[in-house]
Structure 1
Amino acid sequence: MPTSFEAETRTGRRRPGAVTDPSVVVRWNQAAMDAILGRYQAAGNRFGPATVNARALAIIHNAIYDAWACYDRCAVGTRFGGSLRRPRSERTLDNKNEAISYAAHLALLDLYPEYKVAIDNMLRSLGHDPDLTDPRRNSPAWIGRRTARAVLDYRHGDGANQLGTPAYTDTTGYQPRNSPQTAGAFDPATVTDPAHWTPLIVGGKVQRYLTPQFAVMKPFALSRPDQFTVPAPPAYPSVRMTAAIEELLDISAHLTDEQKSIAEFWLNDDVTPPGAQQMWGRYVSARDGYGVDEDAQIFFGLNMAECDAAIGSWAVKAQYDFARPSTLIPFDRRGRQIQAWGGPGRGTVTMDGLDWQAYVAVPPFPATVSGHSTFSGAASEFLRRFTGSDSFGDSFRFKAGASTVEPGLTPRTDVVLHWPTFSDAARQAGISRVYGGMHWSFDNEPGIEMGHRIGKVVHRQAMRYFAGTHR
């Protein structure tokens, strides 16, 4: 187990004149990402659970925000409103930092107890005592622990089943309609309903639908998990579905280095969904010279948007239970010759349609709607409204040969990904799933739009908290 956290953004650039050191809010955000990454890597999993991660980040930043709000003249918290507001003489930066740190510390311990040593050391590095469990009433440490405990108690009953054995176990009784298929050895004879999700057998392990109970989890700002939805996928078989299959076959046969780089960058192996959106927030904080006040608000709203995006997109997945390209394309094109990407380093080859494969690994849950697209649409909408502009400006250089799918081969030369606007970043994140063969186009664009609608609702709710008008 690590004994310290040292996460940084992959971009990490700051505009000239920006603050040299990130606020304590950003530092705890980085620590949270380290804990998230460490847990799923320790388990040997390729993917971090996007739903669980979104909820964890939302809880941590809800606790941080509620502690901070006690030291603001207007803002109200989500659990106590303004009843714990401290007098003006106590609204110092030191007190805010201390309250925030004790809140984040308690929330992280609740969510990632296996990293207690590192979490304690993080608090200690900020000048605070992790062994302080009974602080003086109304002190910053008491405020931080009191507000965090209230958030945790509330969220323990939100339907995610964090306290289950094991944690986050399905509570819906979901059963797939199709038997599991071995990745790379598709057997169409065992398919019962090709239009529905089929679990894969990867490395000898059968995929299990990741947290289907998030489809009925308690949201932050949405009135209910299924407040928004997307149009139903095309019927199978149909002309529209044939066109969707042909589109992905064409993309697969003509994958460019840029498309491969986009597919891999947004796969988020190193930061896990919705980790990319945390980088957006950190970049904005550095770009605009934010301090603890702005960071407490932006990361609160951003992660409430991401959590509601997870809940909303999982409600749609439960509604349609639609097949991934990784199973429907081999079923549809079995016995027919196709042109497609042939595997790492092989380029485009002629193959039996039964052998078609996605460029990137496929996660364990249904296709429609794309979570990446919904997460990204929600984040871009919230950040656009919070900052007052769609302007973003971040970029990333994907180094030659840095591919994890085709290491040493792809891309042949450096590929620079840049996002002038939040909308551009959201669109690229969404299309990355189509380039990678994980999703259909009809999963992507409606997902981005649904994300925008979620981001708008969350922003409106968050602003009421910030202004002290929430009731």
Structure 2
Amino acid sequence: MNKIMMQSLALIFFCILSLSGCGSGSTESGNNTPTPQRPQTVVADDRPVSVARMWNEVLLEGIRHDFARPTIHARNLYHVSIAMYDAWAAYSQTAKPFILGQTHGDFRCDFDASVLVGDPQIAREQALSFAVYRIIRHRFKNSPGVDHIFSLADKLMTDLGLDTSYTSRLYTNGSAIGLGNHIADCIVQYGMQDGANERVNYANVYYQHVNPDLIMSQPGNPDIIDLNRWQPLALNEFIDQAGNAVIGGASEFLSPEWGNVEPFALLPEDKKVVQRDGHDYQIYHDPGLPPLAETDSAEYYKWGFSLVAKWSSHLSPDDKVMIDISPASLGNIQHYPESFSEYQDFYDSLQGGDNSIGYSINPVTNQAYTPQIVPRGDYTRVLAEFWADGPNSETPPGHWFVLLNSIVDHALFERKYEGKGNELGSMEWDVKAYFTLGGAMHDAAITAWGIKGWYDYIRPVSAIRSMADFGQSSDPDAASYHVNGLPLEPGFIELVAVGDPLAGTNNEHVGKIKLFSWRGPDYVVDPVQYDAGVGWILAENWWPYQRPTFVTPPFAGYVSGHSTYSRAAAEVLTALTGSNYFPGGMSGFEIKANDFLVFEKGPSVDMTLQWATYQDASDQCSLSRIWGGIHPPADDIPGRLMGIKIGNAAFAKAKSYFEGQP
């Protein structure tokens, strides 16, 4: 598998169109929706690309053209996956539906399986298509890309020979179309009371940030009140990761109350209810406090955020540092830190990366992995942008659906559940895989954002600039000492001295902190021709490696959503396939020189991001957020650890439905 990105929608739709006669012609009279008849020359579950996969592609494309809202799209992926699974499970003799005939909290969806008739494979396609179509029409009706999204959904219905004018929810006459509309209605109504606050566009109810806006166009962070709390950013123009302009320039915290949303496999014993300002915050898998400034854990606070600043010096290929990015050297992490004191042994503070040991051989080919030597500064920049999922982003949970689809496309992949037994049909595999992964991504969002809303932790750009304003915290006898300042590190974090190029015309910057770091967007005159490079800058002007119209995500850092999503997904993919390894023992994504980075030129060489295992891809995703200036280590490790629990719980619960004993 040379590329993880799956084939384009155009190719998918070509596949659909090539299946002449695979659709259904039908008519409706009044409220009766008869089950359309289809020629029996096509066996639905033998399609090379299932109808479930086709609709998943439409959904992913819809997410790319909507606002970049990872929590909301994790929920969309989850709810659409429920619709797909229930349309399949309704006709199963063993599997139990999730929404049909079930009660969730105060909500119940009525269902009578005894009335279902007809070819179950044909009926499944019809029920699934109508269910997903209705949900997409409902969820994306206010999207900035609504016309594009709806046109794709309409086209797929037309290509499948399905008439969207059938709106009846009557299924007791055996109509699969009526069942699909009924499933969609149940999921829409369920979503109106699941705690997501969908009725008012997912608006926050009670969360309030405590810090005033950080004005990125001005130096430092002079107005910050609490060094431990999240701070909104004030930008001249804010554009989210999907490329949509946000009015006002400063974005509201996304989903700080998401812990209140009804989960999939999270259990009451996983949850703690805490209060702030008289309001409840529900948090699952509570990791405890992150390192805090002006407390006993302040040294870990300063170490973590200064590490982010130091890793920013790795973002240029001009430093001539060459590294092996193949599985021969990277991946195969054996142990994660269990306390802040262990972090310094896990991360390489100066050179970057973690304590992964790589692999001696590919277990599928029994051959050694071929080293791939590239400039570190190209690798780090590509990682930061690849895993950021934007612009044109399907957001982190959607990205793992893309990875899942790419695994199925591999020539060596077999649709064997848990890697055992006979191969499943394409639809059965897809609906089971989507249901499992969708549940895990939904629970990851609930867990990570519940914690983000409660702990409300500061981001690196706010912490580094504010610490720079205080000075240095290493030498009480040197200039600019303050206990809340940045720790000095020769070659990375130093004091500006007289005669320094940064001293200023009148030595006004002498005694300030300087960083050897990525220089920021002001140094990119033309992103097609130039990169910012690395050099000495005043720490008060530090930028994360992000677009100047984005800078950092509009929500708190602790814990990392990327780390939580990716590790939960890695656990699901490992369990689904019955193997730690990608098909063939390695997967990758090809990067062309000077044809990948968006906000500056690069990379300077061709490369292929490579992973032996699903865990390796997840671990790489986590590191990318540190090099991107988005997270310190304290945000990362707890996300990975809770992702393990979330992924395993989601797999176990989904499997119980497949076996008919949830």
Q: Which has the larger radius of gyration?
A: 2
Report the alpha carbon displacement of residue 75 of structure 1 after superposing the two structures with TM. 0.7
Which residue number corresponds to residue 224 of structure 2?
Answer: 191
RMSD: 2.2
Partners of 1:348 and 1:158 lie apart in 2 by 47
Report the alpha carbon displacement of residue 66 of structure 1 after superposing the two structures with TM. 0.9
Partners of 2:654 and 2:199 lie apart in 1 by 27
Contact 1:71 1:86 in 2 (8 A): no
Which residue number corresponds to residue 326 of structure 1?
Answer: 461
Which residue number corresponds to residue 262 of structure 1?
Answer: 383
Contact 1:11 1:396 in 2 (8 A): no
Report the alpha carbon displacement of residue 338 of structure 1 after superposing the two structures with TM. 1.8
Which residue number corresponds to residue 206 of structure 1?
Answer: 250
Instruction: Say which of 76, 91, 94 aligns to 1:56.
Output: 76
2:5 aligned partner, one-letter code? R
Distance 1:285-1:448 versus aligned 2 partners, 3 A rule: same
Which residue number corresponds to residue 253 of structure 1?
Answer: 313
1:258 aligned partner, one-letter code? Y
Which residue number corresponds to residue 158 of structure 1?
Answer: 194
> SS state of the match for residue 367, structure 1?
coil
Which residue number corresponds to residue 35 of structure 1?
Answer: 62
Contact 1:227 1:312 in 2 (8 A): yes
Which residue number corresponds to residue 142 of structure 1?
Answer: 178
* 1:362 partnered with 2:552: yes
Report the alpha carbon displacement of residue 201 of structure 1 after superposing the two structures with TM. 1.2
Matching of residues 291-440 of structure 1 within 5 Å: 291-334=426-469, 335-343=512-520, 344=524, 345-360=531-546, 361-392=551-582, 393-407=586-600, 409-440=601-632
2:59 aligned partner, one-letter code? A
Partners of 2:63 and 2:174 lie apart in 1 by 31
Partners of 1:88 and 1:36 lie apart in 2 by 33
Partners of 1:285 and 1:62 lie apart in 2 by 20
* 1:79 partnered with 2:99: yes
Which residue number corresponds to residue 105 of structure 1?
Answer: 133
2:614 aligned partner, one-letter code? F
Contact 1:69 1:85 in 2 (8 A): no
> 1:86-108: per-residue Cα shift (whole Å, max 9, x none)?
68974532222111111111111
* 1:96 partnered with 2:231: no
Which residue number corresponds to residue 43 of structure 1?
Answer: none
> SS state of the match for residue 536, structure 2?
strand
Report the alpha carbon displacement of residue 356 of structure 1 after superposing the two structures with TM. 1.0
> 1:138-182: per-residue Cα shift (whole Å, max 9, x none)?
221122122222122112111111121xx11112x2111110112
Instruction: Say which of 5, 8, 12 aligns to 1:10.
Output: 5
> 1:50-70: per-residue Cα shift (whole Å, max 9, x none)?
011111111111111111101
> SS state of the match for residue 92, structure 2?
coil
Structure 1 unaligned regions, length at least 5 = 1-7, 14-18, 41-47
Partners of 2:191 and 2:461 lie apart in 1 by 35
Identity %: 29
Point out the more displaced range, 274-283 or 285-294. Answer: 285-294
Contact 2:257 2:453 in 1 (8 A): no
* 1:26 partnered with 2:29: no
> SS state of the match for residue 395, structure 1?
strand
1:445 aligned partner, one-letter code? I
1:395 aligned partner, one-letter code? G
Point out the more displaced range, 330-339 or 449-458. Answer: 330-339
1:243 aligned partner, one-letter code? W
> SS state of the match for residue 612, structure 2?
strand
Contact 1:196 1:322 in 2 (8 A): yes
Which residue number corresponds to residue 240 of structure 1?
Answer: 300
Which residue number corresponds to residue 276 of structure 1?
Answer: 399
> SS state of the match for residue 543, structure 2?
coil
Instruction: Say which of 67, 73, 77 aligns to 2:87.
Output: 67
Partners of 1:234 and 1:93 lie apart in 2 by 54
Contact 2:284 2:450 in 1 (8 A): no
* 1:226 partnered with 2:283: yes
> SS state of the match for residue 75, structure 1?
coil
Point out the more displaced range, 64-73 or 79-88. Answer: 79-88
Distance 1:71-1:193 versus aligned 2 partners, 3 A rule: same
The two structures have a TM-score, normalised by structure 1, of: 0.90
Partners of 2:7 and 2:157 lie apart in 1 by 23
The two structures have a TM-score, normalised by structure 2, of: 0.65
Distance 1:63-1:121 versus aligned 2 partners, 3 A rule: same
Contact 2:78 2:435 in 1 (8 A): yes
Point out the more displaced range, 325-334 or 271-280. Answer: 271-280
Contact 2:60 2:398 in 1 (8 A): yes
Report the alpha carbon displacement of residue 286 of structure 1 after superposing the two structures with TM. 2.4
Partners of 1:189 and 1:183 lie apart in 2 by 11
Contact 1:73 1:88 in 2 (8 A): no
> 1:202-227: per-residue Cα shift (whole Å, max 9, x none)?
23411210122212111111124523
* 1:170 partnered with 2:204: yes
Report the alpha carbon displacement of residue 117 of structure 1 after superposing the two structures with TM. 4.0
Report the alpha carbon displacement of residue 81 of structure 1 after superposing the two structures with TM. 4.7
Distance 1:124-1:86 versus aligned 2 partners, 3 A rule: farther
Number of equivalences = 448
Report the alpha carbon displacement of residue 412 of structure 1 after superposing the two structures with TM. 0.2
Structure 2 unaligned regions, length at least 5 = 9-45, 103-110, 238-248, 272-281, 316-376, 416-425, 470-511, 525-530
> SS state of the match for residue 226, structure 1?
strand
Distance 1:329-1:150 versus aligned 2 partners, 3 A rule: same
Partners of 1:386 and 1:86 lie apart in 2 by 31
Partners of 1:89 and 1:405 lie apart in 2 by 53
Report the alpha carbon displacement of residue 24 of structure 1 after superposing the two structures with TM. 0.9
Report the alpha carbon displacement of residue 12 of structure 1 after superposing the two structures with TM. 4.2
Contact 1:333 1:354 in 2 (8 A): yes
Report the alpha carbon displacement of residue 111 of structure 1 after superposing the two structures with TM. 0.6
Distance 1:50-1:331 versus aligned 2 partners, 3 A rule: same
Partners of 2:450 and 2:616 lie apart in 1 by 26
Which residue number corresponds to residue 3 of structure 1?
Answer: none
